[in-house]
Chain A
Amino acid sequence: MGKYWHVLNIGLQNTLVYRLNFLFRATFGLIPLIAVISVWRTIYAGKAGGMIASYELAQMVSYYLVITIVDALTGVTEDDWQIAADIKDGNISQFLLKPMDYLTYRLCLFGAGRLVYAAVALVPTTVFIWVLRDSFVLPPDAATAAWFVVSLVLTALMQFLLSFTLALLAFWVLEVATFIFIAFAFEYIAGGHLFPLDLLPPAVAGALDYTPFPYMLFFPVSIWLGRVGGDALWLGVLVQLLWVIAGYALARLVWSRGIRKYSAVGG
């Protein structure tokens, strides 16, 4: 186990180099956030009753704010490109020789990257949320907050495993970017990035529930907002756990298949 602590440490130091880059990223990321909040404010202003699909304005605004938080803590940024490049450039050869598991190694780097990014993004995001504090909803109680954290960790694992598996396509195809972008597009809409999924017609939302996407963003955000309670809460977390296990099994399977196909180009 000790060696992976070193990986984590190296990962932290490596990503700290990009702190300024991260700061720009987090700050520029606020522009579309402000935009979408403005659009919703305009829509609510023209709406009698002040409710849209059981969301009050404050809840709707908070929905997008919590998305930003979850995204900062769990979203994959560079990892998939790096993994694909490692495979293409033959860098993974060394992992086949060393007593180091590549998946665990990447997971440590992912964790380190998220820690640094979240720490840097904390500044602009907190300032922004503070400005909007009147319409920022906190989790209803401590138990909900705890469930949110559990769900957040599972979300991060799902995000990582999906990206890892997609990047492994580099064993078979030269250019994985298009695949990653297509998957990202699906995740963007079916995960609830664009709008809360309960705005969809119930049949569509119900169908989406059978895919992993809602559990990669929408579910933890709903926990925070206090919109999931009772049995649905722990059942949802259980589903997340099952998706993590399934994702892990798939990642292992694809990895072992890929390694068999791998022929150390330029290694």
Chain B
Amino acid sequence: MNGESRIPKGAPPAGHRAGIPHYLTLYAALWRNSVIRELGFKVNFLMWIVVEGLWFALQLTFIGVLSLHTESIGSWTKWQVVALVGTSHLIQQLFTAIFLTNLTALSEHIRTGKLDFMLLLPVNTRFLVSFRQVDLGGFVNSAGALCVIGYALHRLGHTPGLAQVAGFLLLVLVGILIHYSLMLMLSATSFWTVRAQGIVWGYYNLFNIARLPDEAFRGAFKAVFTFALPMLLVSNVPVKLLVNKLGSPLEMLLLVALAGIIFAASELLWRTALKRYTSASS
């Protein structure tokens, strides 16, 4: 009773007409929270960076061992593949830093009914669900990935032009958008089935093929992972742009167009899911 009277009568519902500046302020606050949270578990924070770095090193070792026995995978030379593995890691780590924890937490929010609370807040719920927490270790690991890409370019003896670098970075962002939209759709399945623990695991399997040269694939597998789930485009296309390997600029167009379609699909699924959401305890 008292709680209600404390809200000033004339106050406009906050966030009702909120524009981008308002959301930027919100995001800054969420960042601050995340930094404080990470500082509470410093050792754990560092250990996770070690874990991710180790797995990255593992993939690079695989390429190293392959190159002991073969000159190239299709037309991809050793250092081109290294750049590809690096780019795939870069996209994955940036995605992890910004989105992964939040999206995997969604099923938990649904199961415990915490989502009710989020729906009541005067903020766009998708914004809150997507951006609530930042995983700072992901940015550290992305920096490592950038170093590896740089070194691979050096070994290739190739200095990309300014336009190439800018295009590369833009396509990396497009790749993150694809990862994000697909993962949101995967997580949103927990609106239908409560037991969705397999989501993160499914994600790793799916997105791990992104670090392999598209040339290695043929037939239905390639078609599915190019046009339906464009895993074979997300890191391949930016690297091809960077090292002058693009068959045609249409590949970039395809990547961007598919990103748009998948993002729209995820928004559609999100709205459908919210409409049929009936909370956990009822």
Contact = CB atoms under 8 A, between A and B. Distances in A.
Interface of A: 21, 24-25, 28-29, 31-32, 34-35, 38-39, 41-43, 46-47, 52-53, 175, 178-179, 181-182, 185, 188-189, 194-195, 199-201
Given A21-B197, A195-B65, A39 B212 contact: yes
Nearest to B52: A181
B35 interface: no
Interface of B: 41, 44, 47-48, 50-51, 54-55, 58, 61-62, 65-66, 68-74, 195, 197-198, 201-202, 205-206, 208-209, 212-213, 215-218, 221
A43 B76 CA distance: 10
Nearest to A174: B44
A24 B198 contact: yes
A21 B68 contact: no
A182 B58 CA distance: 11
A32 B209 contact: yes
A178 B47 contact: yes
A175 B41 CA distance: 10
B69 A185 contact: no
Contact of A188 (B50, B58, B65, B70): B58
A102 B48 CA distance: 30
A25 to B, nearest CB: 6
A42 B74 contact: yes
B66 to A, nearest CB: 7
A181 B44 contact: no
Contact of A185 (B41, B55, B208): B55
Contacts of B208: 32, 35
A43 B221 CA distance: 18
A28 B202 contact: yes
A194 B208 CA distance: 13
23 contacts: A28-B202, A31-B209, A35-B217, A38-B216, A38-B217, A41-B216, A42-B73, A42-B216, A43-B70, A46-B70, A46-B72, A52-B70, A175-B41, A175-B44, A178-B48, A178-B51, A182-B47, A185-B58, A189-B61, A194-B58, A199-B65, A199-B69, A201-B68
B54 A35 contact: no
Contacts of B44: 175, 178
A181 B51 contact: yes
Considering residues A24, A39, A179, which has the most beta carbons from chain B within 10 angstroms of its beta carbon?
A: A39
A182 B205 contact: no
A238 B65 CA distance: 29
A87 B70 CA distance: 48
A223 to B, nearest CB: 22
B209 A182 contact: no
Contacts of A194: 58, 61-62, 65
Contacts of B58: 185, 188-189, 194
Contacts of B206: 28, 31
Nearest to B62: A194
Nearest to B51: A181
B214 to A, nearest CB: 10
Contact of B54 (A24, A182, A195): A182
Contacts of A41: 216
Nearest to A188: B58
Nearest to B74: A42
Nearest to B54: A185
- Shortest Cβ-Cβ A-B pairs, 10 listed: A178-B47, A42-B216, A35-B209, A39-B216, A181-B51, A185-B54, A38-B216, A28-B205, A52-B69, A43-B70
A32 B221 CA distance: 11
Contacts of B51: 178, 181-182, 185
Contacts of B62: 189, 194-195
A25 B201 contact: yes
A29 B209 CA distance: 12
A200 B61 CA distance: 10
A46 B72 CA distance: 8
Given A31-B209, A38-B217, A24 B65 contact: no
A84 to B, nearest CB: 14
B221 A34 contact: yes
B216 A178 contact: no
A52 B65 CA distance: 12
Contacts of B47: 175, 178-179, 182
Contacts of A32: 205, 208-209
B40 to A, nearest CB: 12
A37 to B, nearest CB: 9
A32 B205 CA distance: 6
A245 B66 CA distance: 35
